[in-house]
Amino acid sequence: MLNSLGLGYEKIHACKNNCMLFYKEHETLDTCPICNESRFKMTPQNRPTKIPEKVMRYLPLKPKLQRLYMSTHTATDMRWHKEKRVDDDVMRHLADGEAWKEFDRTFPEFAVIPEM
């Protein structure tokens, strides 16, 4: 279903003890270098299968944001915190919080972009 919406995901094998991901430079390893556990499930004869013990599904942010901004209604809602916010010391949105305001002061190049 996600693929039909243009929101695919990437399967990344993970150590069953959550030590690491078998990703990038570790993509070809069969055992975890931290805990020495097998990457794959074992058969009753104690042989590794090609079925990973644990899989993480990574959903990239960029396609999700692009899809949200395809709709003018959703895009308007996504910019509300910049365009229609009332500064009356009442927290209605995360952008009203001190942490957001401090981030805007620290990184003014992001503060001017309504999509951020």
What are the φ/ψ torsions at residue 54 (nearest 5 degrees)? Answer: -145, 140
CA distance 19 to 73: 42
pLDDT recorded at residue 4: 64
Q: Read off the pTM.
A: 0.58
The mean per-residue pLDDT over the stretch 48-77 comes to: 88
Rounded Cα gap, residues 72 and 38, in angstroms? 48
* Phi-psi region at 46: left, alpha or beta (left = phi > 0; alpha = psi -120 to 50): left
Q: How far is CA 12 from the centre of its chain?
A: 13
Check residues 116 and 13 and name the one with the higher pLDDT.
13
Q: Where are the domains of the chain?
A: 3-58, 79-116
Closest C-alpha among 54, 60, 49 to residue 18? 54
**Higher pLDDT among residues 42 and 75, named by residue:** 42
Please tell me the predicted confidence (pLDDT) of residue 3.
60
